[in-house]
Structure 1
Amino acid sequence: MRDWQLVKLARATKLPRVSRAMRFGILAAVILAAAGAWVLYGSSAFAVTEVLVKGATFVETAQIREATEVAKGTALAAVDTDEVAARVRGVAPVADATVSRDWPHTLVVEITERTPYLAVPGDSGVGLVDSSGVAYRTVEEIPPGIWPVELKTPGPQDPATLGVLSVLSSLSDDLRAELETISAPAPTRIELRLHGGRTIFWGDATDCAEKSAVATVLLARSADHLDVSAPGVPTVRD
């Protein structure tokens, strides 16, 4: 190809020049984006001035605010709401938490508190345990409607605690109506104490549905002590 043909081809394929107006528009857009980012992240125009806690009845709101680890003056846009929610869930009495922004200055933390399911009396008070086995609060007296339970180390990983929860979930209405307290000194030694001094030795938390059915039938007996640890061959004695 001759030189003059190469020059002609180069001219034909040359990209159009960017106009001065277009260059100005691009520059303005970049400046505006940078200014917007500075307003959101670098100025006090959208900084956190309040951490609003909702849903707290027994938990101190100051404890929740401290758990967020969000200081006043932090850019609201820079707050990782998922991370903050995870930290708040680490507070023992909190079952769940959500975190959101209320522009321009407020971080909103909404919590769901744990509900007591078991009461574990101890030397320093009554420990409350929720339905997942988490011990989360100590009070002076057993709340109405909560079963007292004797446990050495209540917790979601404690076999005796998990055993008691399994037993309770399997009880018939008749057994629930008679139940007064539960003792679980070991996972294999769960015992139900009924009104009037009667007892039911449950053993471990296996075959709970069958044990519940057998124990319900045996309630009609006059015996004071029932043993359903082997539900196929239950025993009764005065």
Structure 2
Amino acid sequence: MAGPTTARRGERKPKPKSPSGSSRPPKGSKKKPAARQKAGAAGARTGLGRLLPRLSRRTRLVVRVVAAVLLGAGIGWVLYGSSWLRATHVEVDGVEVLTADEVREAADAPLGEPLISVDTDAIGERLRKRLPRIESVDVERDWPHGVSVEVTERQPRAILEKGGKFIEIDGMGVRFATVDRPPRKVPRLVMEAPADAPGTRRFGRARLEREGVRVSASLPPDVRRDTLVIRVRSYDAITVELTGGRTVVWGSGERGEAKARSLTALMKAARGANHFDVSAPGAPAASGS
């Protein structure tokens, strides 16, 4: 067979292509400018680029701290240094026998001082100490300028006559006031227990007095309104005297709720009776007409 012709032998062979089909770049060629910019950007991210966000966070932290300090100083000045939030008056609620002026005087609130610095606990303590008629009191700051005082007064459950005066005693046996005139609808406590009696020596006069008040506090409301005298002869010999000449033998101050229920039922069942005995509440008795 004849060999390749002279013309075919003189043709150049095609350049081999890369796997992607493009021609290989010649050796020694330099990177294009775009490639150099990408490399610089990558370097910036690994160097200075990392530092900038870190400095930014620190700056934000400093700003927050400074703002908090300035805000705190401003609030402190408003609360303590300015004339905007000063205590100027005392509002009193809940008084019945006491007057609002009596409460204000005893409270001795520091008017003109910053309201935030008013010691409400100290005011409440002064009121309870100076005005024994107060059973409980709630003192609060009433922004922007007031002090609010809510009073609950003791209620007399019995009165004890002494030297032409009347001592008011609450349901806990606390003597809290002495008045010239006895309050209406409050029974009088009469102590008849002899000083040398065994019960008096055992319990003491103060305990017997508290038992008489305890009986008064246990009476049903409608019966208490009709009660004139609670007579204490000994610990377990307490008698209640009602309007219309009626009497109730109560016994001791124990089991007051059960005795009150028995007395209510007994008075409904024996409407014409004038003598009731509930000293044994399980077996009450009524007599007289």
Structure 2 equivalent of residue 75 of structure 1: 114
Amino acid at match of 1:74: E
Task: Select the residue among 207, 211, 216 that pairs with 1:168.
Answer: 216
Structure 2 equivalent of residue 16 of structure 1: 54
Amino acid at match of 2:185: G
Judging changes above 3 Å, is the alpha-carbon distance between structure 1 residues 67 and 15 closer, same or farther for their aligned structure 2 residues?
farther
8 A contact 2:259–2:278 mirrored in 1: no
Deviates more, 1:92-101 or 1:212-221: 212-221
Unmatched 5+ stretches in structure 2 = 1-45, 193-205
TM-score normalised according to structure 2 size: 0.57
How many percent of aligned residue pairs carry the same amino acid? 29
**May I ask how many residue pairs the two structures share in their alignment?**
222
Judging changes above 3 Å, is the alpha-carbon distance between structure 1 residues 169 and 25 closer, same or farther for their aligned structure 2 residues?
closer
Q: Which has the higher contact order (CA 8 A, sep 6+)?
A: 1
Shift of 1:143: 2.5
Shift of 1:62: 4.1
Spell out structure 1 runs of 4+ moving beyond 6 A: 11-15, 230-237
Judging changes above 3 Å, is the alpha-carbon distance between structure 1 residues 63 and 200 closer, same or farther for their aligned structure 2 residues?
same
Judging changes above 3 Å, is the alpha-carbon distance between structure 1 residues 73 and 220 closer, same or farther for their aligned structure 2 residues?
same
CA distance in 2, matches of 1:179, 1:36: 60
CA distance in 1, matches of 2:182, 2:85: 46
Task: Select the residue among 123, 128, 139 that pairs with 2:168.
Answer: 128
Determine helix, strand or coil for the equivalent of 1:39.
helix
Q: C-alpha root-mean-square deviation of aligned residues, in Å?
A: 4.2
TM-score normalised according to structure 1 size: 0.67
8 A contact 1:171–1:212 mirrored in 2: no
8 A contact 1:53–1:109 mirrored in 2: yes
Structure 2 equivalent of residue 45 of structure 1: 84
CA distance in 2, matches of 1:167, 1:56: 27
Larger radius of gyration: 2
Structure 2 equivalent of residue 96 of structure 1: 136
Task: Select the residue among 181, 185, 188 that pairs with 1:141.
Answer: 181
Deviations 1:179-223 (A, max 9, x none): 431122553442223446565554322344359848858996688
